[in-house]
Structure 1
Amino acid sequence: MSQTVDRALSILPLLAEGPADLGQVADRLGVHKSTALRLLRTLHEHGFVYRQSDQRYRLGARLFALAQQAVESLDVREIAHPHLVELNEKCGHTVHLAVHEENEVLYIDKVESRYPVRMYSRIGKPVAITVAAVAKLLLADLPEPERRALAEKLDYPHYTSRSTTDATAFLAELATVREQGWATDLGGHEESINCVAAPVRGADGRLVAAMSVSAPNVVVTAEELLRLLPLVRRTADAISREYSGTAVPPPALAPH
C-alpha cells in the first residue's frame, strides 16, 4: 500500500512541470502503463488530476483548492494568534479560532483559560457542528442552497436539553446568526459551558474563520459572558482588518 501511495504522490510533481500523457507518467514512475493508468484514475476521481481532451493529464482544480485552503488557514492562524492572546489576557477565558473545511468545523488555535477549570477542546479537533457558536457562524455564511443541503445531511445529537433538535430549527438559528452577525452556544453542547463567537472576514466580506470565548458557568454566568461580546467582536474585526488589509465589512453577514 505504501508503494502505491508513493507512486501516486510521485505523479503530482511530474504534472506540476506541465501536462503529461500516460506513457510519460509510466516512464517516470518506471511502471507498466496499466499501473500508471490505475493511479491516474484514482487521482482523477479525487480531483487531484484532470484528463484533457488531448488525453494528457494535468493537475486538477481540487489540488489547488486544498492548497489554497491550507494557506488561508495557516495565514489566518498566524495573524489571529496575537489577538487571541491579548483577548485571553483581558478576559481570562478560553479563546478559540476555527475554520470550515470539508463539511467539518475545526479548531485551528486555542488559548487556555487562566482559571483551573479547562476546556476539553483541542487544536485540530472537529467541533460539535450543530451547537458550537463558531460552527453556526461559519455555516450561516454559506450560500442558502449549500446551507440547506448541509443541514439536511447532519445528525442532531441530543447533547443537552438546549441542543438544536433538527434541520428546521438549525436553519432558523443560522438565519438569526446571519442577521445579527454573531453567535452563541449557551449550554447546547455541555450544560455548564457557554460560548460567544464573532466572525473573521476576508477582503471579499466572506468568513475565513470564526473566533470565540468560552467559559464554564462556575466561573462566569451566561449573562456575564454575553457582556464580553463587544470585546470579542472588536477582536474579530481587528483580525479581519489585518488579514484582509481592508476596512471591516458591516457586522451582519451579507445575504447570498
Structure 2
Amino acid sequence: MDPSPLGSVDKALLTLDALGHAGATGASLAELAAEVGANKSTLHRTLAALRHRGYAEQTDDGVYRLGPAILALGSSYLAEENLPALLRPALEALRSEVDELVHLGVLAGREVVYLDKIEPQRPVRVWSAVGRRRPASTTALGRALLAAGPLRSDDGTDVPHEAFAAYLVETTTADRLREALAAAHRTGIATETEENEPGIACAAVAVLRAGRPVAAVSITAPVERMTGPAHDARTTALTEVLPRHLPPGLTVARPTAR
C-alpha cells in the first residue's frame, strides 16, 4: 500500500479503525498503540483530538471507544438523499444481470417511497416513477423492509397486533400479509404478484447495515418471467449479484431457513 500523503491524518484514521475493531468494550491506550503501530505518547495526542471532536471517548477506567460523532457520520452517509447515488452501481449491475426493471425504495411511515429506478432494455408493461408512494404492505419492497424491520419475526405470529394492524390496507388481508412476511423472513425474498398491476410480479430484498434495513431493492417483471426457473434466476441475482456491488458495510437480508 502506498504511504499516506499526510501521516498525522492517516494515524487518526487508523486509530478510528482500531476503535471500531475494539467494539463497545473499547481498548486501552497500550492495545491501540500496538494495533496502530504508534508510540503511546503520540497516540495519546491523536486520541485527545478525536475526543475533542466527539469521534472517541474515554471511560472512567481509561478505556477508549468510538464516540457519538461516528453515528452522525454514518447517518449522513446513508441519508435518504444519498442512497440513489450510493446504490446506483449495484442497481445497474442487477439490471444488467436480469434485464428487468429495478427499483430502490425506503420505508416512510406506512408507505414505500421509490427513490430510484433502472429501466431494462426490453419493455415492461408497468407504470413507475421516482417519488411514487405505495402502501408498504402491498409491495415487495415494503414487505422486504417490514420483514427485516418493524414487523420482523420468525413467523409473523409474535408481532404485536397493534403494530401489525397499523400497516394493513383495504387491498390486502391480515392473513395474506402475515404469510408474505413469514415467507420473506424465511427465504430473505419478499414477493408480490399482481396485487398492484395486472400481469406484473415483483421480488425484493432488504438492504441492511448492521442488521437494520436502510432500503430495499426489487425486480419488477411480467408474471411469465417471474415463475419457475426464470423466477429462481432473478431471486438468485438479488441475493448473489446485488450484494457484490453494494458499498462496504451494506448487505442483504439472508434466509433464516431452507
Fold agreement, TM-score > 0.5:
yes
**1:176: how far off?**
2.4
Q: Map of 1:86-165 to 2, 5 A cutoff?
A: 86-144=93-151, 148-158=161-171, 164=172
Query: Is the contact between residue 108 and residue 123 of structure 1 (CA under 8 Å) also seen in structure 2?
Result: yes
Query: Is the contact between residue 184 and residue 196 of structure 1 (CA under 8 Å) also seen in structure 2?
Result: yes
1:76 aligns with 2:91: no
Q: Which residue of 2 aligns with 1:222?
A: 227
Whole-Å separation in 2 of the counterparts to 1:170 and 1:226: 22
Q: Which residue of 2 aligns with 1:198?
A: 205
Query: Is the contact between residue 126 and residue 197 of structure 2 (CA under 8 Å) also seen in structure 1?
Result: no
**1:233: how far off?**
1.3
**CA gap 1:146/1:234 in 2 versus in 1, 3 angstroms:** same
Whole-Å separation in 2 of the counterparts to 1:140 and 1:121: 23
SS in 1 for 2:169: coil
Extract unaligned runs of 5+ from structure 2: 1-70, 152-157
Extract unaligned runs of 5+ from structure 1: 1-63, 159-163
Using structure 2 for the length normalisation, give the TM-score. 0.59
Q: Deviations over 1:80-129 (max 9, x none)?
A: 10111122122211000111122321111100121233431211111242
Q: Which residue of 2 aligns with 1:209?
A: 215
> Which deviates further from its counterpart, 209-218 or 69-78?
69-78
Give % identity: 25
**1:172: how far off?**
3.4
**CA gap 1:201/1:168 in 2 versus in 1, 3 angstroms:** same
SS in 1 for 2:128: coil
Whole-Å separation in 2 of the counterparts to 1:147 and 1:85: 38
Using structure 1 for the length normalisation, give the TM-score. 0.60
**CA gap 1:146/1:126 in 2 versus in 1, 3 angstroms:** farther
> Which deviates further from its counterpart, 143-152 or 187-196?
143-152
**1:171: how far off?**
2.5
1:85 to 92, 97, 101: 92
Whole-Å separation in 2 of the counterparts to 1:171 and 1:69: 33
Query: Is the contact between residue 186 and residue 222 of structure 1 (CA under 8 Å) also seen in structure 2?
Result: no
Q: Deviations over 1:18-39 (max 9, x none)?
A: xxxxxxxxxxxxxxxxxxxxxx
Q: Which residue of 2 aligns with 1:21?
A: none
Whole-Å separation in 1 of the counterparts to 2:176 and 2:77: 32
Q: Map of 1:26-41 to 2, 5 A cutoff?
A: none
Whole-Å separation in 2 of the counterparts to 1:230 and 1:134: 16
**CA gap 1:146/1:236 in 2 versus in 1, 3 angstroms:** farther
**CA gap 1:227/1:99 in 2 versus in 1, 3 angstroms:** same
Whole-Å separation in 2 of the counterparts to 1:115 and 1:249: 27
